Amino acid sequence: MNRRRIAVLISGRGSNMVSLIEAAQKTEFPGEIALVLSNRPDAGGLERAKASGIEALAIDHKAYSTRESFEQAIDEALRSRDIDFVCLAGFMRVLTSWFVERWEGRMINIHPSLLPLFRGTHTHKRALEEGVLVHGCTVHFVVPELDAGPIVAQAVVPVIPGDTEDSLAKRVLAQEHLLYPQALRMICDGRASLDRGRVLFTKGWNAEGALRSPS
Ligand code: GRF
């Protein structure tokens, strides 16, 4: 199978981006990170990508008068580099339906909660406020509605008495770094795909490792 050309879109430190880069550096990984793109020129992740020898591009949303023209510039950058697949990793701009539909079935995101709980921001704070006993993270296909796309993989993180937003965020992030490469691998080698609005697993989600949970 040809290695898929993947772009990672970031806005900040890029720790998930690093986990994807490191996974894709293994020769048997069915995809290569061909581009890292940030809407913020000062995103720390850009330097980290360059240090790994990956093209790091900033397309500053502030330089565009409309969301559409900004997204057109991103779309052009992706197409001109023959990108097959997009991973959002802490990309903090809401994407329009135009862009999302152009990349339908070819764009995933990682979100720091067990969706459909806690869509949007401040997920750890809200989980603590609600008193849930399990929290976690989700990789999902991107659809126009925010954080609402078909679920590819989830990792469960227990909430421990005395947890703070920071301590919980730290444990969830550690799982994100394991889950995202695993989910991307499942998609790139065809074990998970988008099929009529659901994720189809060739051997069933459990066999594919779509769930990470404490033993
Ligand atoms: C992660 O928590 C991710 O789930 C969310 O944004 C954060 C990005 O962190 N979408 P990083 O830039 O990957 O370190």
* The amino acid at 187: I
Calculate what percentage of the chain has a pLDDT beyond 90.
93
List 111, 124, 135, 177, catalytic entry: 111
| Cα(188) to centroid(ligand 1), Å | 21
CATH classification for the domain delimited by 109-203, as one of 3.40.50.170, 3.30.420.40, 3.40.50.300, 3.40.220.10: 3.40.50.170
DSSP per-residue letters across 44-76: HHHHHHHHTT--EEE--GGG-SSHHHHHHHHHH
CATH 3.40.50.170 is the classification of domain 1-103: yes
How far apart CA 32 and CA 21 sit, in angstroms, is: 8
Where do the structural domains in the chain lie, given as residue ranges?
1-103, 109-203
- Peptide bond preceding 144 in cis form (omega within 30 of 0): no
pLDDT over 70 (residue 32):
yes
Q: What is the pLDDT of residue 57?
A: 98
Q: What is the mean pLDDT of residues 140-148?
A: 97
Model confidence over 171-187: pLDDT tens digits?
999 999 999 999 999 99
The pLDDT score that the predictor gives to residue 215 is 63
Calculate how far, in angstroms, residue 13's C-alpha sits from the geometric centre of ligand 1: 8
1-103 and 109-203 have identical folds: yes
Instruction: Name the pTM for this structure.
Output: 0.97
Does ligand 1 have an atom closer than 6 angstroms to the CB of 179?
Answer: no
Answer yes or no: 111 catalytic.
Answer: yes
| Substitution candidate for ligand 1 out of 11, 16, 113, 146 with most atoms within 8 A of CB | 16
Report, as an integer, the average pLDDT of 58-74. 98
Nearby residues of 32 by Cβ (< 8 Å), 6 or more positions away = 3, 4, 5, 6, 24
pLDDT score for 1: 56
Query: Region 184-200: what's the mean pLDDT?
Result: 95
Distance from residue 190's CA to the centre of ligand 1 (Å): 25
Among 119, 173, 177, 179, the mutation site with the greatest number of ligand 1 atoms within 8 A of its Cβ is: 173
The mean per-residue pLDDT over the stretch 178-198 comes to 95
Residue 153 and residue 183 in contact, taking contact as beta carbons nearer than 8 Å:
yes
Q: What is the pLDDT of residue 205?
A: 73
- Mean predicted lDDT score pLDDT of the chain: 96
